[in-house]
Amino acid sequence: MLEDLIKDRRRKLDRYGEEAAYPARVKRTLTIGEALKNFAALARAKKKISLAGRIVSLRDQGKIIFADLRDGSGQIQVLIKKEETKDFARLRQSLDAGDFLSATGTLMKTKRGEKSLAAKEAALAAKGLRPVPKEWFGLENEEVRLRKRYLDAILNPELRELFAKKSAFWQTVRGNLAATGFLEVETPVLENVPGGAEAEPFVTHHKALDRDFYLRISLELPLKKMLVGGFEKVFEIGRIFRNEGIDREHLQDYTQMEVYWAYADYNDMMALTEKLYKNIVKSVSGSMKTKSGATTIDWSKKWPKYGYFELFKKYAGLDLKKVSVDELKKKAKELKVDFEPRAGRGRLIDLIYKKTVRPKLVQPCFLVNPPVEIEPLAKRVPGEPEKVERFQIMAAGTELGKGFSELNDPIDQRKRFEDQAALRAQGDQEAQMTSEDFLEALEYGMPPAAGFGMSERVFAVIMDKPIRETVFFPLMREEK
């Protein structure tokens, strides 16, 4: 059936002429949205205008063709009449729904009161050789919708609105930070040693240098080097890459923002990010309340701070100041949490936390001061060396960003890298590698600083959608 439809469209293309069907330029004096906004004045003046867009529906009634034309700003009906439109016969035997059309004429209302363009001239702007599915049932399968997202966008105006909101999301982040005096910078995607996060990296080969590099898993270490170099307030919005499993909630390449602020600590960063997030939510959703399933998330109130140790004891039943690795493994087994036999203390704590504590944190809050074993890049809490000055923004039962009082002691940093290296030697492929280049930079001196990172997961939570739904072309498994 599909092959027959494609053959029919090819025949129509041959009749119209391939060169004519794909012109380099078309007449377009207004967008459809502009024409509709100024409809009354334009119709009264009988001013000739040119519109262009995709034909979303086509009705041939012999001596008149009704074409609903849509561009990025709106939709309008175009009347193509045998008596009034040049080249009517050629158009009639060539047009299909899904084609792009340019039409020139005057605005008017039909007897039914529908705003329309009475075409004096019309021409193909691009011939579609495959039929666009007429109904949503043509893209019911989630895998098909995500694989052919351009069709999803044609059929679903809400999807186009979603990505307009995503643009507003990043514009708000960028605008708020710039207005607070932060400088936006760019750092390399290819790295000698991936650092700044616990994740397995992608490896790529550089032919000219004949050596392997890693795709960055974080933006952190290069931005901290900029603090060493004298930049005091910097941020970057860029892609990072993590070689992890594919599912509805995780992406392997995605956009992240990281910000670093010299002479500030994590308390300063909490104040900055609470204000930033509230501005983001208002800009994207138009409200300070959003949905997470059936639950309403209220972002407007002052966000409380909860201690990691206290909540871990409350929900997991373990005192992190005393618990042993064997006790953590026993608890993980009770919770039916999978872990590697040689998993270290930090990995076990994190797995248990995700099962017991994280789901309980539904309303926006800060989770602060976790154990040092799970955060090798943050300063220790004064007087409590088992804890670090880190916060996570929590809402809807998930993490939506984390920040630190950044570690700037090169001796302590080296020791923590060595601890991570020991975990890698035991088979933990997500443990951090030692970056001698970063350690050398720290030895020149880095000022006290706060850092923070967030990803596009924040947008997905605000919109109450799986993260893959908020990416236009998510990475997919090979099509069978």
Mean pLDDT calculated for residue range 70-97: 95
pLDDT digits (tens, 9 = 90+) for 290-311: 999 999 999 999 999 999 999 9
Mean pLDDT calculated for residue range 228-252: 90
Fold classification of 2-132 (topology level): OB fold (Dihydrolipoamide Acetyltransferase, E2P) (2.40.50)
Do the beta carbons of residue 183 and residue 237 sit within 8 Å?
Answer: no
Residue 149 clears pLDDT 70, i.e. is over it: yes
* Residue extents of the structural domains in the chain: 2-132, 153-303+364-470
Q: Say whether 153-303+364-470 and 2-132 share the same fold.
A: no
Q: How much of the chain, in percent, has pLDDT values that exceed 70?
A: 98
What per-residue confidence (pLDDT) applies to 139? 55
Q: Please state which of the ranges 136-145, 327-336, 351-360, 433-442 shows the lowest mean pLDDT.
A: 136-145
Q: Return d(Cα 223, Cα 237) in angstroms, integer.
A: 11
What per-residue confidence (pLDDT) applies to 138? 47
Mean pLDDT calculated for residue range 423-444: 84
Beta bridge partners of 292: 295
pTM above 0.85, yes or no: yes
Considering the segment(s) 153-303+364-470 as one domain, its CATH architecture is: 2-Layer Sandwich (3.30)
| CA-CA-CA-CA torsion sign (310, 314, 319, 323) | negative
- Arithmetic mean of pLDDT over the chain: 93
Token digits for 272? 């900055």
Mean pLDDT calculated for residue range 4-18: 95
Mean pLDDT calculated for residue range 85-102: 95
Residue 269 clears pLDDT 50, i.e. is over it: yes
pLDDT digits (tens, 9 = 90+) for 153-179: 888 889 999 999 999 999 999 999 999
What per-residue confidence (pLDDT) applies to 195? 81
Beta bridge partners of 109: 115
Long-range contacts of the stretch 80-85 (C-beta < 8 A, 24+)? 80/119, 80/122, 81/118, 81/119, 84/118, 84/119, 84/120, 85/119, 85/120, 85/121, 85/122
Mean pLDDT calculated for residue range 466-479: 85
Alpha-carbon 332 to chain mean position: 32
Predicted confidence band of residue 100 (pLDDT cuts 50, 70, 90): very high
